[in-house]
Amino acid sequence: DTAVSQTPKYLVTQMGNDKSIKCEQNLGHDTMYWYKQDSKKFLKIMFSYNNKELIINETVPNRFSPKSPDKAHLNLHINSLELGDSAVYFCASSPPGAIPYSEQYFGPGTRLTVT
């Protein structure tokens, strides 16, 4: 199936641990994103990569580090996890084109719970 996929779907871990979330898209898109959706359901952009180049880097603690090994993958590594990092993390991608603000296709989300 063509889609945006994320692993794992659920992640429960303790404070202070380091964890990674992986994202892959097989839609041929050039741009990929990481969003955080908190308990109040606000969806906030964290990072965006276009053709492996970081283009959006919002005010996010430097414990969060994105890595894009190729334009089909965008991983998110989180160091020293804190309780406030508990949220659902969505990966998304958007196609190339003359209109940069194309619709974004979201992955299923990774629910991170930090205890």
Partner 1 sequence: GQNIDQPTEMTATEGAIVQINCTYQTSGFNGLFWYQQHAGEAPTFLSYNVLDGLEEKGRFSSFLSRSKGYSYLLLKELQMKDSASYLCAVAGGTSYGKLTFGQGTILTVHP
The distance of closest approach from Cβ of residue 96 to partner 1 in the complex, given in angstroms and rounded to an integer, is 11
Burial degree of 65 (CB within 10 A; 0-12, 13-18, 19+): middle
Do the Cβ atoms of 36 and 89 come closer than 8 Å? yes
Of 45 and 73, the one with the shorter C-beta distance to partner 1 is 45
Contact call for residue 14 and partner 1 (CB under 8 A): no
Of 14 and 97, the one with the shorter C-beta distance to partner 1 is 97
Do the Cβ atoms of 84 and 27 come closer than 8 Å? no
CA distance 108 to 15: 24
Binding mask 37-56 for partner 1 (x = CB under 8 A): ---xxxxxx--x-x----xx
Of 33 and 81, the one with the shorter C-beta distance to partner 1 is 33
